Structure 1
């Protein structure tokens, strides 16, 4: 049996779970707007271990949501995961953030789910998944317009889920588009993906692993007063 600590910090939801194989046994999370992952993450880790009656020595691996998402949130999560793996000599597993979001939607044959995370203005981070949670189209940063995702919508439903769904709803008019902006990345949806990677020994190089930002981070500098 594999005991895996799952960490999700790609958005405002600071989320920690512990799974045994692909079953979640403890979940601790807070999706408050004024979040502080740097303060909450380690508290949630300790509380989750206590609630599960486990210690750090009982862990077999650490799984981290790798992005895309918030630059700061991803840095905090990945740094914490790498620190645990180094100190405990544990393997590191990365889980694509959009894939775990897609995992929340139960599809029928032929249906698709497109997780969309809000970026800036009319831009989103998106990826396309099928009923088997397999990637149909790679992750992209793209500006939404009336032609977006038209190649995927037909007689079957296409679910657009996540924080970017609201801006998609404004311009995408096909009746088979289903919008759900309430879906957020959560450590509760990482377990099955992480366990499959654990079984296949699909681990990251702890020393060199970096979050998947998708876009370069641009530091916004304050304008000088005249």
Structure 2
């Protein structure tokens, strides 16, 4: 695929990335109440900067959650609209994967626990390792109360003797509750997912779906932890 457009509005941050050949251009802004106005403007800006039309794009990547209910719906709806208009395949990417990929890009992280503040003393969380420069997920995304996170079975999948990085607003918001013994090194500059990391990960590991089959990733706290197949 020569031209791939990525977008995300799942959290407070609205972001877009467009890769044409080897060149990637991006836009990002923290605008929690303006996503519906900003996202299409960002899309037009990156298309103009890359000097192509939407009709020249080969595929779309979208952050489909977990995150803000409204933000996730906006991103999925916009991606579906753009995909339907050009008959484009869509690659959905988890916001937690995007955070882990960002940690790898910026810090070369080897072990990452991504956590997004889900409000009401809960977080969306999942563990990852770095496999050849890409985030490999060790367990399914879940919503967990703060006091449940430190006793999750997936901690056994991580090497406590090596550095574990914490990425996302869950860590920066609830540092005292989640990290009382400082077992996790919190990355203060990796707090919100970005479309550019979704794009990078999707091109190597993403799975395409048709626009009609694109679904938001809503995670509820009754979902039990599951080790992923082959892990």
TM-score past 0.5 threshold = yes
Residue matched to 2:187: 180
Q: Secondary structure at the match of 2:138?
A: strand
**Which 5+ residue runs of structure 2 have no aligned equivalent?**
222-231
Instruction: Give the corresponding residue for 2:216.
Output: 211
Pairing partner for 2:170 from 164, 167, 170: 164
Matches of 2:24 and 2:180 in 1, distance apart? Answer: 40
Larger radius of gyration: 1
TM-superposed CA distance for 1:209, in Å, is 1.9
The aligned residue for residue 224 of structure 1 is none
Q: Deviations over 1:89-123 (max 9, x none)?
A: 111111111101101123779x4101100012221
Superposition RMSD on alpha carbons, in Å? 2.2
Query: Equivalents in 2 of 1:76, 1:164: separation in Å?
Result: 22
- Which residue is equivalent to 2:112? 113
1:153, distance to aligned residue in structure 2 (A): 5.9
How many residue pairs match? The answer is 210
TM-score (norm 1): 0.84
TM superposition score normalised by structure 2 = 0.83
* Residue 62 of structure 2: aligned partner: 64
User: Which segments of 5 or more consecutive residues in structure 1 lack a partner in the other structure?
Assistant: 217-226
Task: Tell me the equivalent position of 2:140.
Answer: 138
* Change over 3 Å in CA distance of 1:167–1:197 after alignment to 2: closer
Structure richer in helix, relative to its length: 2
TM-superposed deviation, 1:13: 0.7
Residue 12 of structure 1 corresponds to which residue in structure 2? 12
